[in-house]
Structures are given as C-alpha cells and as structure tokens.
Amino acid sequence: MSALLEVSGVSKAFGGVRAVDDASLSVEEGSITALIGPNGAGKSTLFNCISGFLRPDRGQIALAGRRIERLPPHAIVHAGLARTFQTARALTRLTVLDNVRLAAPSHPGECLRNLIARRGAVRRREAQVTEEAFRLLRLVRLEDYADALAGTLSGGQRKLLDLARILIASPRLILLDEPMAGVNPALREELLAHVLDLRATRGITFLVIEHDLAFVMRASDHVFVMAEGRVLTEGTPEEVRRDERVIDAYLGTDV
Amino acid sequence: MTVLSSGEFWAFVGVMAGIYTLFTLGLQIQFGLAGLLNFGQVAFMAVGAYTMAILVVKQGWSMWLAAPLGVAAAALAGLLVGLPALRLRGDYFAIVTIAFSEIVRWVATNEDGLTGGSQGTINLRGEGVAAQYNSQWERFQGWLGEQLGIRSKDVVMLLVVWSVALLLTWLAGRLARTPWGRVLRGIREDEDAVSSLGKPVFRYRLQALVLGAALAGLAGLFYAWQFSFFSPDDFQPLITFFGWMILILGGVGRMWAVPVGALLFGFLFAATRFFDFPPFSYLDSADRAYVRLLVIGLLIIGLVLVRPQGLLGRRQEMVLE
C-alpha cells in the first residue's frame, strides 16, 4: 500500500488563532482512516484545507503524488477527491434526483454553448447520468424519493443523499465530516455498511472525522488524533485507545 | 374616465408591461435561478439604451447594427461588474450593484459630451440641435403596421414587444430545465455544496449575471424606441425595485411568472392613476402621485401576505430548509 493523500506541515491561522499548526498525516490507498480529536482540535479546518475551501498558510497537500493545495474546490473534485459536510448539504429546492444528477462529472449540458451546438451529446449524457443517478439512489435506498424535493428528507436521509451524490463522480478518496452526527441508530448501521462496502467493491479510500468511537473502532484501519491544531499521535484503533495522551486530550488534562 | 376606455392607453400599459417583462426576466435568471441579489439592473438597461442612441446619433450607424451592440454593451457591463464583484458574498454583491447603477446614472448626467447630460438624448448633438435616434425604428414600425393592416403604432409596438418578451420567456424557461440551469439552481441553494461537487461556481454566476444584463439592455432598447427620447432621470434605482416587485408578485424561480407579474403590476400602476374620487380628490395632484405609490405598496404587501410564493410560485418551496 502507498499513500494516496499526503499532508505535510500544513498550518492555517485565523487572526491569532492557529487552527491548524504544522499538521502532517498520510492516508493509505484503500484504507479507512479516522481523524479524531476534541472539539476545536482543527479537524474541520484541516478538511477545508484538503478540499480547497481554505488555502493553507504553509505546507503541502498531495493527492496521488499531485500537489493540490492551491487548487480551487471544484478542481480538487476533478482530481479524484470528494467530501461531505458536517451537516448534510442537500440542495433543498431541487429534487433528490437532480441533487445527484447535478454532481455528474463532464456533462456537456452544463455548458451554454453545447446546449445549442451539441444537443445530441447533451441528451445522450443526460440519459446516462439519469440512469447512473437512479442506480446510486437505489444503492442508498432513496429511489422512492427521487422526485421529492431534497428539503423534505430527514437529516439521516440527507447524509445518504450526500453520499450518493459524490459517488456519481467516482472519487478515489472520500472525506467524510462526522457522517454519524445527527443520524438515528438504524441509519448509522446502514451508513457504516455503505462505507465498508464501497471500499470493498470500488476500492474507495476514506478519511473520516468522527466522534462516534464505535464507528472508529469498527471501521477504521488507522487513526490520527488531533489536539490544538497538531497531530498528537497515530496508530491502529487499539493502540490509540490505550494511549494516555489521547485520553488526556479528550478529558482536557495537560499532556 | 374616458382614458380608461381608450385602446391606446391600454396598449401603452401593455407595452410597458412587455418592457418590464424583459427587464425582470433578467432578474429572474440572476436571482430566481442563480440566487444573485442584483439591485442595479437599471444600469444595464441604461447602458443598452445609451449605447444604441449614441451609435446612431454620433456615429451615424444603422439602428439595426447599433441595437445588437447596445445589448452587447449591457452584457459587457455585466461582465465588468461581475468579474470583481461576484467574488463577494451575497449582500456585498448587492451593495456593489446598486452603487454601480448610481454611478452609471451620474456619469450619464455629467458627461454631457457623451450622453447629452441631464437634458437627455435630445442634446446628443450638443445644445440647440434636436438629436433624434428613432427615425429608423419608426419607419420599421410603420412598415410592419402596413403589412399587418394595423393603424395604431402603439398596437404595433405592443405586438413587437410581447412577441420578443414571450419568445425569450419561453427560451429562459427551457434554459432553466437544462443541466446548466440545474447547476445554477444548485448554486442558489448552497454554493459551497455545488463547488464541492466539482462545479466552477464563479463562472456560472458570471454567466447568469451577463445573461440578465443583456436582457436589461434589450429592455433599454425598447424603452428608448417607445419614448423616442430619454434622459438619465429615466434610470432611477426605483426602476430596479419595480422589477423586484414584479418578480415577487409573479413568483421567484418560475420564468412564466415574470410576464404574469409584469401585467399585474402594470395594471395596478395604471389603475391607480385614476384615483380622482374621494378621498383622493381632496389632495392636489402632486400629493396624489405619492398616495398612488403608497396604495400600490399596500396592495403588494396584501398580495404577498395572501400568497407569499407569488402568483405562480410553489408554496412548498417557501417552507423548506
């Protein structure tokens, strides 16, 4: 196995607050890697740096050997990295089906010129995209809601929609920001099963921020622990669980 | 009340509603599709009208060449405003647009040499010579009237404006349902989510702004042709907000809501002209003009209370989070 994502020495400050401070981590191809740490540890800021929503002050980020830290978010998606957000970001006044279709890559119909010049190609791609979208909605069992507005879905269903939506672009690496937060226990099991299944069948790599330790213990191969902007330690879930510094960081005791 | 039964008067009301349809269609693409708060739409209307008039009078160009250039100039203005300003978030962008529209109006007022200044287009050749940009248009109107067997120029204008307005409304409706329109609607909902799905949000918002600006430019052309004369005073910020009222009355996000809203607004605006019965008759005409706007405002507030989604909007879309 080799590192699919390599984060080295990334820092990001907001005013005087060093939200991420010289953080380094690497995610092995085909792994489910967890990123844990107490609130305010800088996990989400690091996610935003990786996915291009924030530009790091210092440091490098490489995806499959290609530097991405200066790319805008949409270009990073094209490079093969997709993400979800802490609260699901359903496009509420679009249908569930349109939420997925919108995420399809290289659609000629999204360019004004092609709508006139390449109408045939637009129609063919749209049919293809619709079929693929239905397949993904069936996968997460939302196909009955295809024509409903996404705003009518529950919080947990929106998380499933977020997942289906990014899958249509066939990402190599998916960043999940607290997938279990605000999801009822039944749907949690379903989400966990999806993550394991997607790795097994499609070889997708995951980097997951999660507070739900049951998820971390059951799903992840490797865990990075952040506290106060730094990567405190790393290891297998079992190693990390026994690490005194991790316990201290969560309980707020001095290291 | 003789005016109310005059066909010409209603033709005029209809023409204005058609012009406002084009104007507001631009806002519908910008706000209804892409979620852009453009409070300076009138500036693009002014750029379209002035470009056409200046090219015809000063350069001696054919109106048929000057007109598309007017639309192009409005689109270009949209591009130039959008390139820096669309990097700002919603409210800040709105502030820039309203400032831009006032800048355009003040430049038109003070650059006498270019625009004829506060006296308007009659001064385009300088003081003392009455400049006219409209002769080719009037000839066309006359010719078309002959072909159709219609005497009244107002009715001819009505047909031309509404043919264009309905055609473009239909086109805009089709555009909204394409994959391109889908990306714009997504941006309206949550631009960060859409950019995390691999779409270059900035480029789409710029396209929406430019298209909407071009439509305002076209509205400016018809406005110029309808009145044969205009001045910077015709492009007050209030015009932009009339467009917004039409948008809200008709319903945000539905292209066909624009002509419906424009007709209703035109009717309200025209009907309140004839408040010459008590208690309105106790006021002098200047006061009555203000009361009229007040009544229109109250009527719109009432309509919005009853149908917050507008005449053609979907109620469900108002309550989703």
Do A106 and A82 fall into the same domain?
Answer: no
Average pLDDT over residues B84-92: 90
Q: Are residues A22 and A86 in the same domain?
A: yes
Q: Chain A contacts of B192, Cβ < 8 Å?
A: 53, 73, 85, 89
pLDDT digits (tens, 9 = 90+) for B248-305: 999 999 999 999 999 999 988 887 777 777 777 787 877 887 888 888 888 888 888 8
| Res A143: pLDDT | 94
Highest mean pLDDT among A244-253, B148-157, B185-194, B291-300: B185-194
Average pLDDT, chain A: 91
A109 chain-B contacts, CB cut-off 8 A: 178-180
Q: Rounded mean pLDDT of A62-67?
A: 93
pLDDT at A59 over 60: yes
User: Given an 8 Å threshold on Cβ–Cβ distance, is A89 in contact with B186?
Assistant: no
Q: How far apart are CA A32 and CA A208, in angstroms?
A: 7
Query: How many domains does the structure of chain A reveal?
Result: 2
- Tell me the average pLDDT of chain B: 91
Residues A8 and A70 in one domain: yes
Q: Distance between CA atoms of B321 and A119, rounded to whole angstroms?
A: 35
Query: Which residue in A has a C-alpha nearest to residue B194's C-alpha?
Result: A103
Q: Give Rg (Cα) of chain B.
A: 20
CB contact A112 to B (< 8 Å): yes
From chain A, pick out residues whose CB is under 8 angstroms from the CB of B194. Answer: 91, 102
Chain B CB contacts of A101 under 8 Å are 179, 182
Name the residue in chain A with its Cα closest to that of B190: A91
Q: Tell me: pLDDT of B3 over 80.
A: no
* Contact check, Cβ <8 Å, B186/A53: no
Q: Is A150 helix (H, G, I), strand (E, B) or coil?
A: helix
Say which amino acid occupies A192: L
**Structural tokens at position A120:** 């045939």
Range of the domain at B197: 14-235
Mean pLDDT within B94-100? 96
Shared-domain flag, residues A182 and A235? yes
In which band, very low, low, confident or very high, does the pLDDT at A158 lie, cut at 50, 70 and 90?
Answer: very high
Percent of chain B with pLDDT strictly greater than 90 = 70
- A159 occurs within a structural domain: no
Q: How far apart are CA B228 and CA B157, in angstroms?
A: 13
Residues A71 and A99 in one domain: no
Write the single-letter amino acid at B83.
L
Name the residue of chain B whose CA is nearest to A175's CA: B196
Domain that holds residue A127: 94-152
AA letter at A80: G
* Structure-block tokens of residue B155: 């009715």
Residue A255: pLDDT over 50:
no
Collect all residues of chain B within an 8 Å Cβ-Cβ radius of residue A89.
190, 192-193, 196
Would you say residue A161 lies in a domain? Answer: no
Helices (H), B87-178: 90-110, 112-115, 135-148, 153-176
| Residues in CB range of B19: below 8 A, 6 or more apart | B161, B219, B222, B223, B226
Q: What distance in Å separates the CA atoms of residue A42 and residue A19, rounded to the nearest whole number?
A: 5
Which of residues A237 and B20 earns the better pLDDT score?
B20
Min Cα separation A90/chain B (Å): 8
Helical pair B237-250 and B41-57, crossing angle rounded to 10 deg? 120
Of A73, A94, A129, the CB nearest to B195: A73
Report the domain count for chain B.
1
Same domain, A85 and A18: yes
* B282 within domain boundaries: no
Which amino acid is it at B274?
A: F
Please report, for residues A149, B165, B203, B241, B265, the alpha-carbon distance to residue B247 in angstroms, rounded to integers and kept in the order given. 22, 15, 24, 9, 10
Mutate to test the interface with A, among B171, B189, B196, B209 (most CBs of A within 10 A): B196
Residues 115-144 of A with CB under 8 A from B: 115, 122, 126, 129
Nearest residue to A97 via CA among A141, A50, A133:
A133
Residue A248 has pLDDT above 90, yes or no: no
The count of other CB atoms within 10 Å of the CB of residue A193 is: 11
Helix (H, G, I), strand (E, B) or coil at A209: strand
Pairing assessment for the beta strands A32-36 and A17-28 based on DSSP bridges: unpaired
pLDDT exceeds cutoff 80 at A46: yes
Q: What pLDDT score was predicted for residue B167?
A: 98
B312 within domain boundaries: no
Q: Per residue in B126-184, pLDDT tens?
A: 878 888 999 999 999 999 999 999 888 889 999 999 999 999 999 999 999 999 999 99
> Does A158 fall in a domain?
no
Give pLDDT, residue A22: 93
Indicate if A145 and A239 belong to the same structural domain: no
Asked if the structure places residue B310 within a domain, the reply is no
Q: What are phi and psi of B175, to 5 degrees?
A: -60, -40
pLDDT in tens, A70-129: 999 999 999 999 999 988 999 999 999 999 999 999 899 999 999 988 999 999 999 999
Co-location of A84 and A13 in the same domain = yes
Residue A223's beta-bridge partner residues? Answer: A34, A235
Same domain, A247 and A182: yes
- All residues of chain A having their beta carbon less than 8 Å from the beta carbon of residue B196 are 51, 53, 73, 77, 82-83, 85, 89, 166
In chain A, whose CA is at the least distance from the CA of B317?
Answer: A93
In chain A, which residue's Cα lies nearest the Cα of B315? A93
Q: Is residue A45 helix, strand or coil? A: helix
**Is A203 in the same domain as A246?**
yes
**Residue B255 one-letter amino acid:** M
- Looking at residue A18, which CATH number applies to its domain? 3.40.50.300
Residue with tokens 């510094």: A245
Looking at the fold, whether A187 and A85 belong to one and the same domain comes out as yes
Q: Search chain A and give the residue with CA nearest B183.
A: A102
Do A10 and A221 contact (CB within 8 A), yes or no? no
Residue of A161, A198, A169, A166 lying closest to A78 (CA atoms):
A169
pLDDT value, residue A251 = 65
B192 close contact with A: CB closer than 8 A: yes
With an 8 Å Cβ cutoff, are A91 and B321 in contact? no
Tokens of B84: 């820096």
Contacts of A136 (CB under 8 A, 6+ apart): A100, A164, A165, A167, A168
Distance CA A242, CA B224 (A): 79
Say if the Cβ atoms of A74 and B200 lie within 8 Å: yes
